[in-house]
């Protein structure tokens, strides 16, 4: 165990018994001609919206008993999903797969009004774990649509959050996937136009998309406040600082996690010589470490800290025992749980109903 167990970004491990495929002592401690070290980005890992969504499923299981159905992955992390499955959660793609009258949780990425209606039509008891920062974007979409704005939504086609947001103003929203599409997107009324965005995009790429949109549509209006959320922004700022000095950056996060994938891109754009995304420590390849003195480590907003600690253990096996935190912000935001889950079975207020986990829980 390396001496970093106390280094956290304030996030406790959320899930009781991690099921991590451990493969110890795979990596060799090869000389590299310079002192080996790890730069550990902070903030990293769980954001307030993920924390809330995962607790919501755990509490729903506790309150209503298994099974509890969850529409889509509650958050985009394979470890979180498999651990909740072990506890009795059943993940489905659509609400029509949920037995009538059962409990269903909507994921942190949000849903369109059509999904809410379908759940109601089936008599489901729906618990909405949509991140409040995604709900904020939904409300913006509804408000601008009511004011007859045309909405250019910057985001990635097929992402659940984008589908949910577009569903709030389907007639008025056009998706812009990337800066190149800003050069070709067609609008009906360039004088009454606003842009909104997915919460987990690259800040730099989004600003480039907006710059190119505004070149064509000078009256394009900005959203009232940032749609790219604080957690996405903070993790990108931290990895930029790490990447400047890193020969290799390892991002812990799943392939379908937008903000994790963005962290790899941001690291490469800001000086990292190489960057890889992994779900688990055992995916680190020996050859990635050839000639590498400094390894940067971070994790996406849906990643429990225990997975990062596993990476640090494996890197220590390979001689990277010196771990330096690179802290660019402190985070203490918490969101209240969905209202149905704020009480215990006996009716008392559940302290987790205040939003966060017990923050001084030790990592192991
Ligand atoms: S990444 Fe941002 S928008 Fe998504 S759940 Fe976390 S805080 Fe909410």
pLDDT in tens, the chain (364 residues): 222 222 233 333 345 444 566 667 789 999 999 999 999 999 999 999 999 999 999 999 999 999 999 999 999 999 999 999 999 999 999 999 999 999 999 999 999 999 999 999 999 999 999 999 999 999 999 999 999 999 999 999 999 999 999 999 999 999 999 999 999 999 999 999 999 999 999 999 999 999 999 999 999 999 999 999 999 999 999 999 999 999 999 999 999 999 999 999 999 999 999 999 999 999 999 999 999 999 999 999 999 999 999 999 999 999 999 999 999 999 999 999 998 898 776 777 766 555 445 443 322 2
Is there a single domain that holds both residue 319 and residue 242?
A: yes
316 in any annotated domain: yes
Final residue before a domain boundary, out of 194, 216, 238: 216
23 in any annotated domain: no
Is there a single domain that holds both residue 203 and residue 247?
A: no
DSSP 215-279: HH-TTPBPPSS-SS-HHHHHHHHHHHHHHTT-SEEEEE--TT-HHHHHHHHHHHHTT-S-EEEES
CB of residue 263 inside a 6 A radius of ligand 1:
no
Neighbour-count burial for 103-129, b at 16+ CB within 10 Å, e otherwise = bbbbbbbbbbeebbebbeebebbbbbb
Look up the CATH number of the domain holding residue 175. Answer: 3.40.1010.20
Question: Is 161 marked active-site?
Answer: yes
Final residue before a domain boundary, out of 216, 242, 271: 216
Is there a single domain that holds both residue 168 and residue 179?
A: yes
Name the domain count of the chain.
Answer: 3
Is there a single domain that holds both residue 56 and residue 145?
A: no
Is there a single domain that holds both residue 43 and residue 62?
A: no
One of 161, 163, 305, 331 is an active-site residue; which one?
A: 161
- Identify the domain containing residue 183 by its residue range: 133-216
> Which two three-digit tokens encode residue 2?
């390396």
Beta bridge partners of 278: 252
CB of residue 199 inside a 6 A radius of ligand 1:
yes
Final residue before a domain boundary, out of 188, 216, 244: 216
Is there a single domain that holds both residue 205 and residue 241?
A: no
CB of residue 49 inside a 6 A radius of ligand 1:
yes
Q: Locate tokens 């790429």: which residue?
A: 205
Is there a single domain that holds both residue 234 and residue 257?
A: yes
2 in any annotated domain: no
224 in any annotated domain: no
Residue 174: helix, strand or coil by DSSP? strand
Closest residue to atom 2 of ligand 1, CA basis: 229
């Amino acid at each position: 165990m390396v001496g970093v167990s106390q280094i956290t970004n304030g996030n406790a491990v959320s899930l009781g018994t991690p099921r991590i495929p451990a493969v110890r002592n795979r990596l060799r401690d090869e000389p590299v001609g310079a002192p080996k070290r790890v730069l550990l980005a902070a903030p990293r890992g769980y954001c307030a919206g993920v924390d809330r969504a995962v607790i919501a499923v755990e509490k729903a299981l506790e309150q209503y008993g298994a099974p509890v159905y969850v529409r889509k992955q509650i958050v985009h992390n394979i470890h979180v999903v498999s651990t909740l499955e072990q506890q009795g959660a059943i993940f489905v793609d659509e609400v029509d797969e949920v037995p009538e009258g059962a409990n269903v949780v909507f994921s942190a990425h949000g849903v369109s009004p059509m999904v809410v209606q379908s759940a109601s039509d089936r008599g489901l008891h729906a618990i909405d774990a949509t991140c409040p920062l995604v709900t904020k974007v939904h409300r913006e979409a509804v408000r601008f649509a009511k004011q007859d704005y045309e909405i250019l939504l910057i985001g990635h086609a097929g992402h659940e959050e984008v589908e949910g947001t577009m569903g709030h103003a389907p007639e008025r929203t056009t998706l812009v996937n990337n800066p190149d599409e800003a050069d070709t997107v067609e609008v009906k009324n360039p004088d009454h136009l606003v842009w909104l965005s997915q919460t987990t995009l690259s800040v730099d790429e989004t600003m480039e998309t907006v710059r190119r949109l505004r070149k064509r549509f000078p009256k394009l209006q900005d959203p009232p406040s940032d749609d790219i959320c604080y957690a996405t922004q903070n993790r990108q700022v931290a990895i930029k600082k790490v990447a400047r000095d890193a020969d290799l950056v390892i991002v812990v996060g799943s392939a379908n996690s937008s903000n994790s994938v963005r962290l790899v891109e941001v690291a490469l754009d800001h000086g990292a010589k190489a960057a890889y995304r992994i779900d688990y420590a055992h995916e680190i390849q020996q050859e990635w470490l050839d000639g590498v003195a400094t390894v940067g480590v971070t994790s996406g907003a849906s990643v429990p800290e225990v997975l990062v600690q596993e990476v640090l253990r494996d890197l220590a096996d390979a001689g990277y025992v010196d771990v330096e935190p690179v802290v660019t912000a402190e985070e203490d935001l918490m969101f209240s749980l969905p209202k149905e889950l704020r009480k215990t079975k006996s009716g008392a207020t559940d302290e987790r109903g205040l939003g966060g986990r017990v923050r001084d829980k030790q990592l192991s």
